[in-house]
Amino acid sequence: MGTSQDRQRRRLNPDKASPKKSTNKPQCGKRPITTMIISWGPTQYTVRVLLDTGCLVPLISARITEQLDIPRIRRRKAAPLLNCSGEEVKGAGMEYTEPLLLQHRKHYSQEMFEVAPLEPEVDIFLPFWWIAKHPPQGAWDSEELRFSSCNCLE
Protein backbone atom coordinates (compact mmCIF):
# COMPACT_ATOMS: atom_id res chain seq x y z
CA MET A 1 0.00 0.00 0.00
CA GLY A 2 2.31 2.87 0.91
CA THR A 3 2.52 5.44 3.63
CA SER A 4 0.61 8.70 3.64
CA GLN A 5 3.94 10.38 2.88
CA ASP A 6 4.28 8.23 -0.31
CA ARG A 7 0.72 9.10 -1.35
CA GLN A 8 1.42 12.80 -0.77
CA ARG A 9 4.63 12.56 -2.86
CA ARG A 10 2.67 10.94 -5.74
CA ARG A 11 0.06 13.73 -5.65
CA LEU A 12 2.77 16.40 -5.82
CA ASN A 13 4.86 14.52 -8.43
CA PRO A 14 2.55 12.48 -10.65
CA ASP A 15 5.54 11.50 -12.83
CA LYS A 16 6.91 9.57 -9.87
CA ALA A 17 3.72 7.53 -9.57
CA SER A 18 3.86 3.83 -10.29
CA PRO A 19 3.46 3.09 -14.00
CA LYS A 20 0.08 1.71 -14.97
CA LYS A 21 0.02 -1.76 -16.40
CA SER A 22 -0.92 -1.67 -20.05
CA THR A 23 -2.29 -4.31 -22.34
CA ASN A 24 -1.30 -2.26 -25.40
CA LYS A 25 1.36 -3.54 -27.76
CA PRO A 26 4.05 -1.58 -29.61
CA GLN A 27 2.55 0.35 -32.49
CA CYS A 28 3.28 -0.77 -36.03
CA GLY A 29 2.94 1.52 -39.02
CA LYS A 30 3.70 1.96 -42.66
CA ARG A 31 7.26 2.07 -43.92
CA PRO A 32 8.50 4.81 -46.28
CA ILE A 33 8.57 2.86 -49.54
CA THR A 34 8.52 4.92 -52.73
CA THR A 35 9.11 4.16 -56.39
CA MET A 36 12.15 5.37 -58.29
CA ILE A 37 13.81 4.51 -61.59
CA ILE A 38 17.25 2.97 -61.96
CA SER A 39 19.09 3.30 -65.26
CA TRP A 40 22.24 1.85 -66.76
CA GLY A 41 23.07 2.28 -70.41
CA PRO A 42 19.81 2.43 -72.37
CA THR A 43 17.97 0.31 -69.76
CA GLN A 44 15.52 1.76 -67.21
CA TYR A 45 13.53 -0.06 -64.56
CA THR A 46 11.06 1.08 -61.90
CA VAL A 47 12.05 -0.08 -58.41
CA ARG A 48 10.49 0.01 -54.94
CA VAL A 49 12.80 1.91 -52.59
CA LEU A 50 12.78 1.82 -48.79
CA LEU A 51 14.16 4.93 -47.09
CA ASP A 52 15.88 3.14 -44.21
CA THR A 53 17.49 5.30 -41.53
CA GLY A 54 19.08 2.22 -39.95
CA CYS A 55 20.86 1.11 -43.11
CA LEU A 56 24.56 1.93 -43.58
CA VAL A 57 25.05 1.29 -47.30
CA PRO A 58 22.77 1.40 -50.37
CA LEU A 59 21.47 -2.11 -51.03
CA ILE A 60 19.89 -3.65 -54.11
CA SER A 61 18.09 -6.95 -54.30
CA ALA A 62 20.15 -9.85 -55.65
CA ARG A 63 16.95 -11.08 -57.32
CA ILE A 64 16.56 -7.82 -59.29
CA THR A 65 20.23 -7.70 -60.33
CA GLU A 66 19.97 -11.23 -61.72
CA GLN A 67 16.57 -10.75 -63.39
CA LEU A 68 17.63 -7.52 -65.09
CA ASP A 69 21.27 -8.44 -65.68
CA ILE A 70 22.44 -5.29 -63.91
CA PRO A 71 26.24 -4.87 -64.27
CA ARG A 72 27.98 -6.06 -61.11
CA ILE A 73 31.53 -6.27 -59.81
CA ARG A 74 32.51 -9.43 -57.94
CA ARG A 75 34.92 -9.35 -55.00
CA ARG A 76 37.53 -12.04 -54.39
CA LYS A 77 36.53 -12.10 -50.73
CA ALA A 78 33.15 -11.12 -49.28
CA ALA A 79 32.87 -7.79 -47.48
CA PRO A 80 30.84 -8.59 -44.36
CA LEU A 81 27.38 -7.03 -44.34
CA LEU A 82 25.66 -7.09 -40.95
CA ASN A 83 21.94 -7.00 -40.21
CA CYS A 84 20.27 -5.14 -37.34
CA SER A 85 21.15 -8.00 -34.98
CA GLY A 86 24.83 -7.71 -35.82
CA GLU A 87 24.76 -11.01 -37.70
CA GLU A 88 26.34 -11.45 -41.11
CA VAL A 89 23.81 -11.51 -43.95
CA LYS A 90 24.17 -14.75 -45.89
CA GLY A 91 24.49 -14.25 -49.63
CA ALA A 92 25.66 -10.62 -49.29
CA GLY A 93 29.02 -8.92 -49.62
CA MET A 94 30.35 -10.70 -52.71
CA GLU A 95 29.05 -8.22 -55.31
CA TYR A 96 28.26 -4.56 -55.80
CA THR A 97 26.87 -2.73 -58.80
CA GLU A 98 28.59 -0.46 -61.21
CA PRO A 99 27.29 3.11 -60.83
CA LEU A 100 23.54 3.28 -61.55
CA LEU A 101 21.49 6.39 -62.18
CA LEU A 102 18.74 6.68 -59.58
CA GLN A 103 15.80 8.94 -60.41
CA HIS A 104 12.83 10.17 -58.39
CA ARG A 105 10.71 12.56 -60.47
CA LYS A 106 13.22 15.24 -61.56
CA HIS A 107 15.82 14.34 -58.93
CA TYR A 108 18.83 12.26 -60.03
CA SER A 109 21.80 10.76 -58.26
CA GLN A 110 24.41 8.21 -59.24
CA GLU A 111 24.96 5.40 -56.76
CA MET A 112 26.69 2.06 -56.38
CA PHE A 113 24.79 -0.61 -54.44
CA GLU A 114 25.80 -3.63 -52.42
CA VAL A 115 23.99 -6.68 -53.78
CA ALA A 116 22.12 -8.58 -51.06
CA PRO A 117 19.10 -10.80 -50.61
CA LEU A 118 16.22 -8.46 -49.72
CA GLU A 119 12.60 -8.99 -48.80
CA PRO A 120 10.27 -9.42 -51.81
CA GLU A 121 8.40 -6.10 -51.28
CA VAL A 122 11.52 -3.92 -51.63
CA ASP A 123 14.12 -3.69 -54.42
CA ILE A 124 16.45 -1.05 -52.93
CA PHE A 125 17.30 0.22 -49.44
CA LEU A 126 18.65 3.78 -49.22
CA PRO A 127 20.61 4.55 -46.03
CA PHE A 128 20.41 7.51 -43.69
CA TRP A 129 23.44 9.29 -45.18
CA TRP A 130 21.74 9.28 -48.62
CA ILE A 131 18.52 10.65 -47.09
CA ALA A 132 20.53 13.39 -45.30
CA LYS A 133 22.35 14.27 -48.53
CA HIS A 134 19.04 14.39 -50.48
CA PRO A 135 16.54 15.63 -47.86
CA PRO A 136 12.98 14.65 -48.72
CA GLN A 137 10.17 17.19 -48.75
CA GLY A 138 6.58 16.19 -48.07
CA ALA A 139 5.25 13.21 -46.18
CA TRP A 140 7.49 10.16 -46.59
CA ASP A 141 4.46 7.92 -46.99
CA SER A 142 2.61 9.88 -49.67
CA GLU A 143 2.68 10.71 -53.36
CA GLU A 144 3.81 14.20 -52.32
CA LEU A 145 7.33 12.98 -51.47
CA ARG A 146 9.97 15.01 -53.34
CA PHE A 147 13.75 15.28 -53.32
CA SER A 148 15.26 18.62 -54.28
CA SER A 149 18.75 19.33 -53.09
CA CYS A 150 21.90 20.86 -54.50
CA ASN A 151 23.26 17.28 -54.60
CA CYS A 152 20.86 16.43 -57.41
CA LEU A 153 22.51 15.60 -60.74
CA GLU A 154 21.17 17.66 -63.62
- Specify the pLDDT at position 63: 97
Cα gap 103→125, rounded to integer Å: 14
Q: Is the pLDDT of residue 112 over 90?
A: yes
pLDDT in tens, 43-94: 999 999 999 888 899 999 999 999 999 999 999 999 999 988 899 999 999 9
**Domains present along the chain, CATH in parentheses:** 33-142 (2.40.70.10)
- Specify the pLDDT at position 53: 81
**6 phi/psi in degrees, rounded to 5:** -65, -45
Query: Which residue in 69, 46, 63, 53 sits closest to 119, CA to CA?
Result: 63
In order of 26, 53, 122, 133, the CA distances from 129 in angstroms are 27, 8, 19, 6
Query: Which residue in 104, 124, 126 sits closest to 116, CA to CA?
Result: 124
Q: Is the pLDDT of residue 4 over 60?
A: no
